[in-house]
Amino acid sequence: MYNSMMATAVILFFSCSNDFENVIKVSEFEKLPELTGDNIHFTQTEYGKKVISIYTPKLIESKKDDESNAKQMEFPQGISVLQYSSYPDTLSLLTANYAINDEEKGIWEARGNVVAKNVKSHEELNTEYLVWDQKEGIIYSDKKVRVITPDDIIMGEGFSSDDQFTEWQVEKVTGIISFDSEEIGENNGEGEE
């Protein structure tokens, strides 16, 4: 009787360890990306009009780590986003070394050499981290920023703007360099006959 109890315990032990291995395999499988792609270009339209074009060398789409069914798109090799006022007229351009999109929240995060440009006003934002909240229609950062305008370079820590980069504000300004573009042209010999 003792031997049969021992044999039953050994069988249960090995069958349980097999179940744990299967649980680990299933959880690893759930972490695999659902979609990957190289050299991807996709567009977003509203009412049949192209409003955004996105280019990336690498796209990885997967489920988030939480218990929801929400997905996230990761752009580990960088991203370029063009926003149009009326296609093909470009309103703004954003580039970054890395980006991630939480589809459920409508939040984009861009990291590493982030550059956002308003093409019409000739303004440019440089930072290492930027968030775009699509649902609220705002972009913001809590990191160091530099905004270049036709007349100034403004440096600070923190930034907020509408998502078209037209109404913006630099937080905790640490420096402003102002210049007159006409004076710069005269000092470089432009305008001389």
Band of pLDDT at residue 182, cut at 50, 70 and 90: low
Distance of alpha carbon 157 from alpha carbon 140, whole angstroms: 11
Query: Is residue 187 over pLDDT 60?
Result: no
**Which listed CATH number (2.60.40.10, 1.10.1450.10, 3.40.10.10, 2.60.450.10) goes with 33-187?**
2.60.450.10
Q: Which of 186 and 78 is assigned the larger pLDDT?
A: 78
Q: What angle do CA 33, 45, 80 make, to 5 degrees?
A: 55
Query: Is residue 112 over pLDDT 80?
Result: yes
The whole-number pLDDT of residue 30 equals 53
Q: Which residue has the tokens 């705002």?
A: 138
pLDDT tens-digit readout, 22-74? 544 445 545 555 778 899 998 888 888 888 899 999 999 888 766 666 788 99
pTM: 0.72
